[in-house]
Structure formats: C-alpha cells, structure tokens
Amino acid sequence: MIASHYAEPLACRIASPTSLRNGPSADSGVIRELAAGEPFDMLDDSLGWAWGYAGDERRVGYVRSGAVGD
C-alpha cells in the first residue's frame, strides 16, 4: 500500500480517564483504559472522536475528543 501523504501527530495528553477503542463509537471494543496525563499523539479529530496512538506502548485507537487535552 502506498500512502500519498502522512499526518504529523499532534502531541497531547489525556485530560480525563477514558477508554481507547477500536473504532469511533461507544459500542466499539475497548483496547485499554487510559489515565489522565498519559500521552496521546493525535492524528485526526472529527465527529467527536480523536484517532491516534496512546501510552508508552503506542497502541492505535480512538478516544472521545473531549478526553484529549494539550
């Protein structure tokens, strides 16, 4: 697969405890729980869901946009 461009991640932190999910839905499976203060590198934020990678192990998934801080 060839990508025409790459998104530069925006370095953020989780502002409030939340679940990292497989998809942009409250019904999606939970990958793991994230604590406030954990790193979250955001690649996209749309329709109330932020997509990126979280924690020291850099697991990729979705969190509610409101759970992401600076």
Residue 34 lies in a domain: yes
Residue 19 lies in a domain: yes
**How many structural domains is the chain composed of?**
1
CB 15 within 8 A of CB 67: yes
**Domain residue limits at 25:** 10-69
Q: What angle do CA 34, 38, 43 make, to 5 degrees?
A: 90
CATH of the domain at 48: 2.30.30.40
pLDDT at 4: 52
> Could you give the percent of the chain with pLDDT greater than 90?
80
Residue 4 lies in a domain: no
If you average pLDDT over residues 37-64, what whole number do you get?
Answer: 94
- The model's pLDDT over 1-31, given as tens digits with 9 standing for 90+, comes to 555 567 788 999 999 999 999 999 999 999 9
- How far apart, in whole angstroms, are the C-alpha atoms of residue 44 and residue 68? 12
